[in-house]
Amino acid sequence: MSTGQHHTGSGSDIRRAVRHGIITVVFALACFAVAALSQNPLHEAMIAAAPAVMFIGAFSALWVTFRTWRAGGRWQVWQGASWFLLAASVMMLMATAPVLLD
């Protein structure tokens, strides 16, 4: 199974995983920024989109973890990114739930 650019033993896996995490968090925060600048119903949609973006980022990191594991690469780096994004998405969901349930 081809996995693209997975280099075992190099720092590129770490850089890619960190970059994935940062980009995911930036997109989620951008959802909050758009929500702060908008009115209903876009306001509520963007607040709901922020945790969804984080969950998508977490599951895509899990997919890369699986693919890297199958290729014999450094899958642990991607698993760490997955856990970080999953924990952040749950925290973000708990923070936005009161706003969405009003």
- Tell which residue, 101, 102, 99, has the closest CA to residue 47: 99
Per-residue pLDDT band at 36 (split at 50, 70, 90): very high
Per-residue pLDDT band at 100 (split at 50, 70, 90): confident
Mean pLDDT, residues 30-57: 94
Q: CA 68, CA 6: separation in Å to the nearest integer?
A: 7
* Alpha helices, H only, the chain: 12-36, 42-71, 75-100
* SS3 call for 57: helix
Write down the mean pLDDT value for the chain.
90
**Residue 101 pLDDT greater than 90, yes or no:** no
Mean pLDDT, residues 47-73: 96
pLDDT for 54 equals 97
Q: CA 15, CA 44: separation in Å to the nearest integer?
A: 34
Mean pLDDT, residues 57-69: 97
Domain boundaries, the chain: 12-100
